[in-house]
Structure 1
Amino acid sequence: MSSARHDYQQFLTWLHLPERGATEDTRRFANLVDQDFDTVAAHSRAMSRRSVLLAAKAKESLLQTDFTPPAVAGAVTVGEWAWSALHSLTVGPFRGFRVAETFNFPQRITMFYGPNGSGKTSLCEALELALLGAVDEASAKRIPAQRYFANLHENRYEAPTLAARGAEGQVSAVQADSEAYRFCFVEKNRIDNFSRIASKSAGEKKDLIAALFGMEQFHDFVTNFNESMDQQLNLVAIQQQELETQRAALQRDQATINGELQAVQTIAQEETAYAGAYAAGLSYQQLLELIGSDAAPGRLHYLNAQLDGPTPGLYGVSSEALVAAYQAADREQELLEDVDKRLTAKTGETSFQNLYNAVLGLQALSPDNCPACGTPINGDYHVVRDPYAQARDGLAQLQELANLQAEKNAVRGEWERASRGLEGLLTAFGQRVSAQPDHADDRVRYLASPGADHRAAWWKASYVKQGDAPSMAQRIVDLAVECERIDTQTNQVLADRAALAQERTRLVQAAQDVAGFQTRRAEVARQVGIARQTIANFDQANAALIDAVQQEAVQLVLSRRIKAAYDEFLRLLRQFRSELPGTLIAGINTVALEIYNEFNRRDHDGDKLAALYLPTNEEERIGLAFRAAPDTRVDALHVLSEGHVRCLGVAILLAKALHIQAPTIIFDDAINAIDTEHREGIREAIFQSDRFAATQIIVTCHSSEFIKDLQNHVEKGQWTAYYFMPHIGDHRPRVKGNEITFNYLEQARAALDIGDWRNALGASRQALEMLTDKIWKWLGKNDLGVITLPLAGRGAEPNLRNLCEALKRRLDDSRTFVHQDKPAVVQGLGDVIGVPVQSNVWTYLNKGVHEEADRDDYDPNLVRTIVENLERMNQLRLGSMPIAIAGAAQAAIMQAVADVANPL
């Protein structure tokens, strides 16, 4: 929470100003929070944890805390810098650096390039620690510094050493100062958070500026204060109220004693009324006798003895239903046998039916010939009778057989239902009598396994008699009749038990009600006894309470002071947070607008900003107006794309850095937070403009294309480049300083110096493409961007020589255009075009790199001419026209007009 601690100390400075009018207790409370800031910050508002902590600390030491401004709360003056540029950084072991590495910053721009995981973030955190004294990421994750900064493989860290150059060139160590240097950093995470806030709710957008300037930790710290700590303070004289309540209770105790007789009489009357309601003419004493007790059992004891035994069960079987099931099965069996007899009589017809169906089944395979002999059905030579027609006619004549078969299917279905119905009744009957295969009664054994087989009349076997004894079926029906008789007797017993149960239920309820009367009598006696004892021993019994009342009075005074201090402290803290955006962005609107438009210089002019309204408090939104509608103010986060929102965030941060005259700006991977579409504008606005010409810039980036563009568009003497590469097993980042270059002309010069004409031309082609593009843009800025170019075909790119000739021709034809760099550009293009078009030099420049065997050697002098002219042209700024030259150009134009109007 290092950044939150720093912002809180600025709040202390603000709070202790006389114009705030804060009370001494409020200032004491604010200083108390500062004394144990980390502990307070670690507690959130959830379950009032922070209020519980602060209330305990305030009770313990608020009155002993000083109310004067603490020494750490002094504001640091920025803009008056002790140094003009960073000189060197030594880092390691630290985070990703296993051993010490030294990085020098001799030029205005220092680039750090490498893939993710190669050490760039560790380098930026080393700069952050050296400049600010802490790293926000470590604080946000609540990881101790010893563990967060330690190199994993060395298990330790050493604080980075940062040196800076003064105005006179002297080198001295940099002292960490969070207030002075916090706005020197432009981080990718901040830009990402700033762009994401655009999609959040209105309530979350109030943290917009704080998030951009890295103050979200302070916002979170303020947000986590509870609305009040009243619940944690002694604000009510509870003990005093209790004592007064106790004294008032003496009167109630006397009233309890005086009302004892009346209370007993009331209970007795209710008892008599209850007994009469239970049974006419019954006295309460008789009711007690009916209920009884263990010593003298009554009617209730008798009923319990009768009803607590086991309840007889019912068989629940029906002999009538069983007989009906047997009859239904027999009836369906007779119907099935009748159908079978009729079908047997038509056995021959069945064979013909199968034959006809078989013949018709072959029609699809041989529709035009007899399926038996192959004779054609139609034609000169054909069968006597169509077999397929004969089969259809035969099937029609056998319709009665088909009907009989359908009837059998229907009868068979009913037969199976009757069979299964009988089986179901027998199975249920067996379950009722707990049938087992080894039961002594053969009827029960039969019910355990009646031998149901739904392919035959299985029940018929039970009709067979064994000598003079009835059949098993009849004996099963007789058993059902016997069960029905037993159920009739059981139902009578159950009816008698129901009457006894109803009587017992009434007596049980009466016993409960009688217990209630007895409890009331006992409670009256207890309360009267307590009342008599309380009156006799009040002062002695309440001695501790009387003493607590005296101590409570002191705590009340302290708690009310704490409440007043906390309420005012929280109000002023929130006021400071609310005013914070206005403090942060004061005086930077215009510069931020200009930088944003420079970032978006390729946009349509109407889409550029005419006005920018940065918020002056946390409730306001960022407003803007476009040049297309300068009088219409809109919400920036509603109308800007994510890419433009990111550009706006960078512009605000850079405007703040310029406002405080920061000598150094550190871009911590921030370029990668910007989409590719805007990187050219950012490169030109930050690295190639005069606005930041006096500002040292340190940039880390994993985009090789952006580093390449920087090295080619910024003069060599202005930048230093370090390249980070992953370790090769020793867990040490491989660092190379200025050993690798992406600058085309440097690559061309290096190849030229060793006689490598081919690669010199390859780099020259890339440099020439870059320079012609730069010259063309320069002409466009001066309203000369329209040129005529031949193309090989639709969609083809112009070759470089044609482009050079067109640019030179445009400059030659623009006689009224006067610029200090124009002669050098014309001369350079002329010298480049002067190389013969038939030369293999131009063949290479126009078509690029291709491997070809047995190529003719290049003319060294022509190659040297190309490289040297490109180097001279690359040194030209091609910027805006100086005022003096602009005036001369205007005079020349006026003279030309006059010559036309007044010819000799």
Structure 2
Amino acid sequence: MSSARHDYQQFLGWLHRAERGVSEDARRLANLVEENFDRVAACPRTQSKRSVALVVIAREGLTTVSCDAPEGARILRTNVWQWSGLSSLTIGPFRGFRVPETFEFPRRITMFYGPNGSGKTSLCEALELSLLGTVDEASAKRITPQRYFANVHEGRFQSPALAVLDVAGQVSQVVPHSEAYRFCFIEKNRIENFSRIAAKTAGEKKDLIASLFGMQQFHDFVSHFNESLDSQLSLVSVHELGLNTRRAALQRDQETVDGEASAIRALEAEEAAYAEAFKPGLSYTQLLEMLGNDQAPGRLQILNAQLDAPTPPIFGISSSALVEAYRAAESEHIRLEQVSARLAEKTGETSFFNLYNALLELQEGTPDNCPACGTPLHGDFHATRNPYTHAQDGLDALRELAALQNDQAGIRRAWDTASRSLEAVLHAFAQRIGATAANQDERVRHLHSPGVDHGVAWWRPSFTTGADGKSIAQKIVDMANEYEACDVRTNELLASRQGLVNERELLVRAGQIAAGFTARRAELARQIAETRQAIEAFDQSNAALIEAAEQESDRVAFDRRIKAAYEDFLRLLRQFRAELPGTLIAGLNTTALEIYNEFNRRDHEGDKLAALHLPTDEEGRIELSFCAAAQKKVDALHVLSEGHVRCLGVAILLAKALHVQAPTIIFDDAINAIDTEHREGIREAVFQSDRFANTQIIVTCHSSEFIKDLQNHVESKEWTAYYFMPHIGDYRPRVKGNEHTFNYLAQARAALDMGDWRNALGASRQNLEVFSDRVWKWLGKNDLGMLTVPLAGRGAEPALRNLCEALKKRLDDSKTFIHPDKPGVVQGLGAVLGVPAPSNVWLYLNKGIHEEANRDDYDQHLVRIIVETLEAMNQLQLRTMPAALANVAQAAVEAAIAVNAQGQGRNHQAG
């Protein structure tokens, strides 16, 4: 966590500024965290481990640590540099370097090329340790420096020795300064992390700028502080809390005692209100009298006695029903007697009626003969009277007799029903009064056994008048009247009894409520007595707790002091972290936009940036506007591809390096984080532009193509290169300095010096390809990039000779284009193409790249001319002329054209 510690020291410098007015305890706690930084940083926020550690540290040292800024506290640096560039680095044993190796930085650009595992990372870590005093990777992996920096084969390490050139050009040793030199580094990991952050959640995007500028460890360090220390602090005295709780209870007890009279009055008011609601005008004392008790019975006891007594039965006897039963039976009997008498008068007719019916029944068997004598009823000889007709006529005459017989049968049934109904009424009467044969009352005995015989009028004997002038039936009816009157009296008694029951229920409910009032009075009296006793014994029973609370109060006060200091400290620490993006990228918008557009110079004009707005706090977003919609702001991480996001990250870091006027920029494998499409733009914007012409650049890369392009597009006097090769068994990287070059012109010169004419021509042609591309781009910058070039077919690349001819023609035709390098380019292209004087130069350039067996040797003089011509052409700067100089040149050309035109006019007049 060394880099995080350096950033924390910067925070201390910010915190201890007098104008910030931070409390002494907050500054003391911040200083304690600095003194115990490794211990604090090792504790995560999970399970409040960091809070636990901080509480222990604060309790041990808050009162003894100074509140002044510690000696190691850093303040925000100014753009004043004590050196102008790196001079040399001696490294080893260190990481992958087993023995000391010395690297010189004599030119503006120093390249370190080699495959993975050849030592480039170790070299960059040596520079990082020398300039910053720490290596982020070691801190992130929590490996001790002795272990991390040691060469595994030597088992030890020697601190790298980095020499710098001061402003006076003198060599001196650099003093590490993390805050001052951190912006000299552009690392691959930071660029990749920056590009991946677009896929993270909104909360994780807070560390966007921190990750880009290498402050991720500090950002994480701040994030692991818990919200509070409350769970680890004794903020409230347990004994004091218990004592206060008991005192609060004591206060409530005192209030209870003081409110005794009031409570009694309230209870009495409730009692009086209830008595009034029970019966208007009734007092509660009168209500209690009505309720009574065993010693003084009241209305309730009287009602209980009345209602608990047995009630008389209900007989349910109806005298009218009895009379109706007697009447119905007698009436039906009289009707039966009358019908029977009338039938008796028609006894003779009855025999004929039966005879006629019998005769008609025989008609079906002998319909054509007399049933008595067999005489035919029809024909010549037949009976004088038809017996069947005679029988039918007789029955018609006896129709009244048939009707009487039918009436007798119906009356007989009605008589039987009336007889049985009378029996049922008498039987029910007997049951209800409990009639027995042994009863002294003849009426009861008659009811028990009325002599029922449904074949005769069995009730008629009861109609016989006795010596007293009354029949037994009349006496029974009179007895029914007596029982009916008794039922009336019983029903009247029962009706009045319900009112008594209702009254008793009201009194019983009142008695329950009165019992509740009594219980409340008793409970109130008990509480008052117990409360008075507790108040009198409080101090004595709580003496031990009172003493413990007094002893605990000092520690609670100190923990509250720690709590206040931590809250202030954490608020300021988070404020500092939140302000970091604004501090880091202030003033970078314009420069970062320009560099980004230079990286993407081949993009469509509408896809280039019109505006760039970098965030000023950790919640902010990177917003930008495209030239195609300059007024519309969009979120950069939402609309840019991963490759463009990486370019944006590099542009921001480069803008920061320029802003702080860093004399050296170190690309720690950063080129390999950029896709191939954008590497050319970065090469031109960083290594070939005037923007970084006075900045020393150190670049490590394992892309041979990028190193090749770099060496061929940048003048050889501006760069030096080291090539790292894997060890051959001795675990020592093989380092070669400028012993091999990818520069085609240098390769051509080396081959020329060795007499290798073919390879000299091959490298020369490759150099011409690079140079012609440079010329085309140079013309494009001067608005002359439109060429007419014949192509072999659709999608084909222009042939090199065609391109050179088109370039020369474009320059020849651009009479108004004035540039110091123009004559050299035109002359050089003419020499190559054989214009105006024909030559074999192009033939050699074209043939030198092809294998041909048994051909004649090349003309070494011509080969030398070709190489020297290309060397002269490559010395040209091919830069855009400043606007003022271009305007002067344009004016001169226009004046020359005007003078020439005037001269031609005079010649014409003279002729």
Alpha carbons of structure 1 residues 245 and 818: separation in structure 2 relative to 1, 3 Å: closer
What is the correspondence of 1:574-653 to structure 2 with a 5 Å cutoff? Answer: 574-653=574-653
**Paired residue type of 1:642:** E
Q: Establish whether residue 884 from structure 1 lines up as the match of residue 875 from structure 2.
A: no
Alpha carbons of structure 1 residues 242 and 847: separation in structure 2 relative to 1, 3 Å: farther
**Paired residue type of 2:888:** G
For 2:504, the equivalent position in structure 1 comes to: none
**Paired residue type of 1:870:** L
For 2:816, the equivalent position in structure 1 comes to: 816
In structure 2, distance between residues paired with 1:606 and 1:773: 25
In structure 1, distance between residues paired with 2:831 and 2:653: 45
Alpha carbons of structure 1 residues 733 and 632: separation in structure 2 relative to 1, 3 Å: same
Any conservation in 2 of the 1:622–1:637 contact (CA below 8 Å)?
yes
Any conservation in 2 of the 1:624–1:635 contact (CA below 8 Å)?
yes
What is the correspondence of 1:467-482 to structure 2 with a 5 Å cutoff? Answer: none
Any conservation in 2 of the 1:819–1:886 contact (CA below 8 Å)?
no
For 1:226, the equivalent position in structure 2 comes to: 226
Equivalent position SS for 2:77:
coil
What is the correspondence of 1:536-547 to structure 2 with a 5 Å cutoff? Answer: 545-547=545-547
Identify the range of structure 1 (547-556 vs 244-253) with the bigger mean alpha-carbon deviation: 244-253
CA deviation after TM superposition for structure 1 residue 798, in Å:
3.4
For 1:743, the equivalent position in structure 2 comes to: 743
Alpha carbons of structure 1 residues 875 and 243: separation in structure 2 relative to 1, 3 Å: same
What is the correspondence of 1:761-840 to structure 2 with a 5 Å cutoff? Answer: 761-834=761-834
Any conservation in 2 of the 1:805–1:833 contact (CA below 8 Å)?
yes
For 2:144, the equivalent position in structure 1 comes to: 144
**Paired residue type of 1:575:** Q
Identify the range of structure 1 (91-100 vs 833-842) with the bigger mean alpha-carbon deviation: 833-842
Q: Which structure 2 residue ranges, 5 or more long, are not aligned?
A: 254-530, 906-911
**Paired residue type of 2:135:** V
Equivalent position SS for 1:88:
strand
Instruction: Output the TM-score relative to the length of structure 2.
Output: 0.66
In structure 1, distance between residues paired with 2:206 and 2:559: 33
Alpha carbons of structure 1 residues 80 and 252: separation in structure 2 relative to 1, 3 Å: closer
In structure 2, distance between residues paired with 1:118 and 1:50: 41
**Paired residue type of 2:803:** L
Alpha carbons of structure 1 residues 600 and 798: separation in structure 2 relative to 1, 3 Å: closer
CA deviation after TM superposition for structure 1 residue 649, in Å:
0.6
Alpha carbons of structure 1 residues 569 and 835: separation in structure 2 relative to 1, 3 Å: same
In structure 2, distance between residues paired with 1:622 and 1:252: 62
In structure 1, distance between residues paired with 2:145 and 2:662: 27
Any conservation in 2 of the 1:110–1:719 contact (CA below 8 Å)?
yes
CA deviation after TM superposition for structure 1 residue 589, in Å:
1.5
Q: Establish whether residue 72 from structure 1 lines up as the match of residue 72 from structure 2.
A: yes
C-alpha distance after superposition, 1:82-130 (max 9, x if no partner): 2111111111111101111111111111100000000000000011011
Q: Establish whether residue 871 from structure 1 lines up as the match of residue 875 from structure 2.
A: no
What is the correspondence of 1:15-164 to structure 2 with a 5 Å cutoff? Answer: 15-75=15-75, 77-164=77-164
C-alpha distance after superposition, 1:306-365 (max 9, x if no partner): xxxxxxxxxxxxxxxxxxxxxxxxxxxxxxxxxxxxxxxxxxxxxxxxxxxxxxxxxxxx
In structure 2, distance between residues paired with 1:544 and 1:56: 29
In structure 1, distance between residues paired with 2:168 and 2:68: 40
In structure 1, distance between residues paired with 2:239 and 2:173: 63
C-alpha distance after superposition, 1:159-209 (max 9, x if no partner): 111111123321111111111111110000000001011111111112111
Identity score, percent: 72
Any conservation in 2 of the 1:666–1:697 contact (CA below 8 Å)?
yes
Identify the range of structure 1 (851-860 vs 559-568) with the bigger mean alpha-carbon deviation: 851-860
What is the correspondence of 1:332-343 to structure 2 with a 5 Å cutoff? Answer: none
In structure 1, distance between residues paired with 2:60 and 2:68: 19
Any conservation in 1 of the 2:667–2:698 contact (CA below 8 Å)?
yes
Alpha carbons of structure 1 residues 885 and 240: separation in structure 2 relative to 1, 3 Å: closer
Alpha carbons of structure 1 residues 663 and 244: separation in structure 2 relative to 1, 3 Å: closer
In structure 1, distance between residues paired with 2:817 and 2:250: 110
For 1:567, the equivalent position in structure 2 comes to: 567
CA deviation after TM superposition for structure 1 residue 838, in Å:
9.4
In structure 2, distance between residues paired with 1:794 and 1:579: 56
Any conservation in 1 of the 2:834–2:840 contact (CA below 8 Å)?
no
Any conservation in 1 of the 2:832–2:842 contact (CA below 8 Å)?
no
Q: Establish whether residue 201 from structure 1 lines up as the match of residue 201 from structure 2.
A: yes
Alpha carbons of structure 1 residues 899 and 5: separation in structure 2 relative to 1, 3 Å: same
In structure 1, distance between residues paired with 2:793 and 2:592: 44
In structure 2, distance between residues paired with 1:536 and 1:785: 107
CA deviation after TM superposition for structure 1 residue 549, in Å:
1.1
In structure 2, distance between residues paired with 1:614 and 1:536: 73
Q: Establish whether residue 7 from structure 1 lines up as the match of residue 7 from structure 2.
A: yes
In structure 2, distance between residues paired with 1:228 and 1:583: 27
In structure 2, distance between residues paired with 1:51 and 1:676: 48
In structure 2, distance between residues paired with 1:252 and 1:810: 105
Equivalent position SS for 1:872:
helix
Alpha carbons of structure 1 residues 784 and 249: separation in structure 2 relative to 1, 3 Å: closer
What is the correspondence of 1:112-511 to structure 2 with a 5 Å cutoff? Answer: 112-244=112-244
Equivalent position SS for 2:29:
helix
C-alpha distance after superposition, 1:134-175 (max 9, x if no partner): 101000110011110011111111111111112332111111
In structure 2, distance between residues paired with 1:247 and 1:587: 63
C-alpha distance after superposition, 1:834-862 (max 9, x if no partner): 28999775345336633221122112222
Any conservation in 2 of the 1:250–1:535 contact (CA below 8 Å)?
yes
Equivalent position SS for 1:805:
helix
CA deviation after TM superposition for structure 1 residue 800, in Å:
2.4
Alpha carbons of structure 1 residues 626 and 795: separation in structure 2 relative to 1, 3 Å: closer
Alpha carbons of structure 1 residues 854 and 847: separation in structure 2 relative to 1, 3 Å: closer
**Paired residue type of 1:236:** V
Any conservation in 2 of the 1:761–1:841 contact (CA below 8 Å)?
no
C-alpha distance after superposition, 1:188-240 (max 9, x if no partner): 00000010111111111121111100001111111111111111111122212
Any conservation in 1 of the 2:831–2:841 contact (CA below 8 Å)?
no
CA deviation after TM superposition for structure 1 residue 795, in Å:
3.9
Any conservation in 1 of the 2:761–2:849 contact (CA below 8 Å)?
no
**Paired residue type of 1:121:** T
**Paired residue type of 2:557:** V
**Paired residue type of 1:735:** V
CA deviation after TM superposition for structure 1 residue 541, in Å:
8.6
In structure 2, distance between residues paired with 1:628 and 1:645: 19
Any conservation in 1 of the 2:833–2:841 contact (CA below 8 Å)?
no
Any conservation in 1 of the 2:757–2:860 contact (CA below 8 Å)?
yes
In structure 1, distance between residues paired with 2:624 and 2:221: 30
CA deviation after TM superposition for structure 1 residue 891, in Å:
4.2
**Paired residue type of 1:163:** A
**Paired residue type of 1:732:** R
In structure 2, distance between residues paired with 1:568 and 1:773: 62
Any conservation in 2 of the 1:237–1:556 contact (CA below 8 Å)?
yes
CA deviation after TM superposition for structure 1 residue 679, in Å:
0.7
CA deviation after TM superposition for structure 1 residue 249, in Å:
9.0
Any conservation in 1 of the 2:833–2:842 contact (CA below 8 Å)?
no
Equivalent position SS for 1:217:
helix
Equivalent pairs, count:
627
Larger Rg, first or second structure (1 or 2): 2
C-alpha distance after superposition, 1:666-725 (max 9, x if no partner): 110001111111111111111111111111111000000111111111111111100000
For 1:716, the equivalent position in structure 2 comes to: 716
**Paired residue type of 1:889:** Q
In structure 1, distance between residues paired with 2:751 and 2:735: 24
**Paired residue type of 1:727:** H
Equivalent position SS for 1:71:
coil
CA deviation after TM superposition for structure 1 residue 547, in Å:
3.6
For 1:432, the equivalent position in structure 2 comes to: none
